Amino acid sequence: MALKDIALAAERSGDYAAAFDAWNALASTANRPDYLCKLGRSAQKLGRWTEAEKAFLEANKTDEHFSLAMTLLGSLFLARTDGDGSANAQKAKAWLERAVAIAPNQASLSFLGDAYQRLGESEAAKAAFRKVIDLDKTYVEAYLNLGLLLSADGQAVEAEGLLRKATQLAPGSPRAHGALGALLQELGHYAEAEVELKRTLELNPNDSIARNHLRRMADDRG
């Protein structure tokens, strides 16, 4: 079996250590940005943040206009658990703004919205998520994240519509049902809220937030 086939098969099976070794061997013989990005993603799956960053930076160095490497660097700095969280978010923002400037797409804009949100730039985050929806009317995370931001800002009517859309697009998402249930409870729509929160627990019995919302509703009725 060819080395690339071994790498792809390892990825499909979730054996990211084997995938890392295979992509590393491929990248060492052919300095291709796509191979380096694959290497970085395998390292990220393993929580090997420094090695992932090195691979993505090398991919960017190989092709300075390869926006995928910039998007992956941004997503890496949002995911990594080492270093300072605020500094990581700032680095994510910088890489993702570069990626969006070259080739805006659903992934780069969605990650950019996440970065803005972490940095407290809520209006910029909303704008990014709206652009994602403009590009792809089925992108669940954008509806969910925009809905949560609007809900936090007191824009309940639009937030409710967005969160309902998220549950329609992803009926198996406990996060979407939980967010909608919490908002409906806040709006006083208790019967609907109970349905959504119970659905959340059906999908994820360990969701303590949904359980607490249901308990508060029961206490209020008592």
> Can you list the domains of the chain with their CATH numbers?
137-222 (1.25.40.10)
Q: For 152-173, what is the HEC assignment?
A: HCCCHHHHHHHHHHHHHHCCCC
Residue 134: CB atoms within 10 A of its CB come to: 12
Answer yes or no: are the C-beta atoms of 110 and 142 closer than 8 Å. Answer: yes
Rounded (to 5) percent helix, strand, coil in the chain: 80, 0, 20
Q: Does residue 71 sit in helix, strand or coil?
A: helix
Distance CA 16, CA 95 (A): 25
Distance CA 38, CA 43 (A): 9
Answer yes or no: are the C-beta atoms of 174 and 213 closer than 8 Å. Answer: no
Closest CA to 110 of 89, 67, 140: 140
Q: What is the pTM of this model?
A: 0.90
Would you give per-residue pLDDT tens digits along the chain (222 residues)?
699 999 999 999 999 999 999 999 999 999 899 999 999 999 999 999 999 999 999 999 999 999 999 999 999 999 999 999 999 999 999 999 999 999 999 999 999 999 999 999 999 999 999 999 999 999 999 999 999 999 999 999 999 999 999 999 999 999 999 999 999 999 999 999 999 999 999 999 999 999 999 998 887 776
